[in-house]
Amino acid sequence: MARILMVTPEASPFVKTGGLGDVLGSLPAALAARGEDVAVLLPRYRNAHVWGLERIRHALPVSLGPHRFSVDVDLVTHRGARYLFLDCPPLYDRPGVYNEGGWDYPDNPIRFGLLNRAALEIARNIFRPDVFHSHDWPAGLLPLYLRTAAGDPALAGSKSILTIHNLGYQGNFPPAAMHDLGIDPSFYHPEGIEFYGRISFLKAGVVWADAVTTVSPTYAREIQTPEFGFGFDGLLRSRAYKLTGILNGVDYQEWDPRHDPHIPAHYWIDDLSGKAECKRELLAELGLPQIEDRPLIGIVSRFAYQKGFDLLGGIAEPLAQENLAFAVLGSGDPAIEEMFRRFAYAHPGKFGVRIGYDNGLAHRIEAGADMFLMPSRYEPSGLSQMYSLRYGTLPIVRATGGLEDSIDEETGFKFHGYAPAALLAAIQNASGAFQDRPAWQSRMRRAMSKDFSWDASAARYQDLYRS
C-alpha cells in the first residue's frame, strides 16, 4: 500500500468547473478500492458543497515567502479516500474558484502558492505521503518546494508526480511573484521556472517532478509538437523520458442510464424505449418540436478556445437545412455564447440553447440526444464523449487527444482537419447513418457496452507510484 497525497484546485462533488473535478472525485476512489491510502488536498471555497466536515487541525501555521498564514484543516471521507479542505477565508472565501466575472483573481499566485506550501505542512503534521501527486498548474509548484525542502527528514524519500490535464492553462505570472512565493531568484532561468519572461507554475512541475503524466496517450505525443505544445513542446520533448499518457476513466456511479437520478426514464441495451422518452422530454424542456425520426445533437461544454465551436460559425446555414436539431448547454467565451444565442434566434425550431452551468441538464442531454458533438481543437482526454457512449449517444468528434483514443468508427464519427467543411461532412455522415434504424441501434448497443471504468487506468497510476 502506498500513501498518496493528491493536490488539486477542484474535486467533484465538492467543487467542479470541468473534467478535472470529475477525475479528482473518482480516481481516488478507484485507487482506494485497489488498496492505496489516498488523501486529497484542496481549498475550501465559499461555494464548496461540503457536509459532515470534521476539523482535524486548528490554526496550522503556513508561511509563504514573507506571508504568514494560519489555516484550518477539515476532513471528510468520501468513497474510501480522505479529502482535506484547506480553510483560509482571506484567500478562498470568495464566489469563484479561479475568477469572478471573467477576471482572474489577481492574487491567484498566492492563493494557489499557499495550497502547494500547505501540502508540505500536511505531510509534516497530518499525512506523510510516499508520493505527492499534483494536478494541473495550481499544484505545479509543489515539486519545486519539495526540492528546496530536500534536507527535511519528514519529506525525505517522498516522490512527486505532476498530471497535466490541460496544457492551455499554465499559471504564468510576473517574476515579482517569486518574492511572494518564497522562491529563490536563482531558480529564474530557462532551465528553471522562467517561461518567456514570466514564471510558470506548470513549468516548475514539469522540471522538478519525478514523473509527468497527461490524460491520454495521444495527447502525450501531441504536446511534444509545436501545434499542441503552447510553448512547452521543447521542454516536454527534453523530458519525454518521464512523460506518459494515461486515459481518464468514467465514474459509472454518476453516469449510467440504468440508474441516473437526473433523467426522466431509465434504459439499457436490452430495452432502449426509455431513451426515446428521454428524447421527448428533452425536446419539450428546450421548447423544440418533437422529432422522433430525425437526429438530435447534444452539446455540453465549457465554451473555450479549446473546444472548437467556432467551427460551427461558418456552417449554421447548411446545418439549418439539414433534418436535425441541436440541444446546447454551455457557458464561457462571450463570443461563443452569443453565437449560439444567434443560432437559436434565427432557427428557433432547430437550436435549443441554454447558457449556463447545470449538472442535471447535462445528464438529460447525454440521455436525450442521439449524437454528442465535440469538435475540439485539442482535447487532453475528454470525459463527455465517454459518458455519451454509455448513454448510447453516438459521439461526433475531432480526432485529437483523448477523443482519438476513446472513439472508433464502430461507435462514433470522427473528422480530422480543423475545418468547418470537415465538421459538416461528419455531421451529414452521422445523420445519414441515423436513417438506417436497425444499424443505428446496433451501433448504440456497441457504444453502450464499451467499458471505460477507472480500474484499468487506476492500475497504471499504481504502476507509476510503485516505480
| Residue closest to ligand GLC, measured at CB | 19
Binds 215: which of ligand GLC, ligand ADP, none (CB < 5-8 Å by kind)? ligand GLC
Query: How many Å apart are CA 284 and CA 282, to the nearest integer?
Result: 5
Q: Is 400 in the site for ligand GLC (CB under 6 A)?
A: no
Is the Cβ–Cβ distance between 62 and 117 less than 8 Å? yes
Q: Is 336 in the site for ligand ADP (CB under 6 A)?
A: no
Residues 323 to 352: which contact ligand GLC by CB under 6 A? none
Of 134, 381, 400, 406, the residue at the interface with ligand GLC (CB under 6 A) is 381
What is the three-class DSSP state of 399?
coil
Q: Is 218 in the site for ligand GLC (CB under 6 A)?
A: no
User: 285: closest CA among 340, 345, 325?
Assistant: 325
Q: From residue 338 to residue 377, what is the string marking binding to ligand ADP with x (rule CB under 6 A)?
A: -------------------xxx--x---------------
What is the three-class DSSP state of 16?
coil
Q: Is 298 in the site for ligand GLC (CB under 6 A)?
A: no
Stretch that binds ligand ADP, among 57-65, 112-120, 149-157, 327-335 (CB under 6 A): 327-335
Q: Is 29 in the site for ligand ADP (CB under 6 A)?
A: no
Query: How many Å apart are CA 147 and CA 170, to the nearest integer?
Result: 20
Query: How many Å apart are CA 287 and CA 350, to the nearest integer?
Result: 10
End-to-end CA distance of the chain: 13
Task: Give Dmax (Cα) for the chain.
Answer: 69
Query: How many Å apart are CA 42 and CA 88, to the nearest integer?
Result: 11
What is the three-class DSSP state of 264?
coil
Of 380, 392, 395, 412, the residue at the interface with ligand GLC (CB under 6 A) is 380
Query: How many Å apart are CA 251 and CA 245, to the nearest integer?
Result: 19
Q: Is 19 in the site for ligand ADP (CB under 6 A)?
A: yes
Of 116, 134, 158, 166, the residue at the interface with ligand GLC (CB under 6 A) is 166
User: What is the binding site for ligand ADP (CB under 6 A)?
Assistant: 18-20, 22, 300-302, 329-331, 357-359, 362, 381-384
User: What is the binding site for ligand GLC (CB under 6 A)?
Assistant: 18-20, 23, 165-166, 215, 248, 379-383, 402
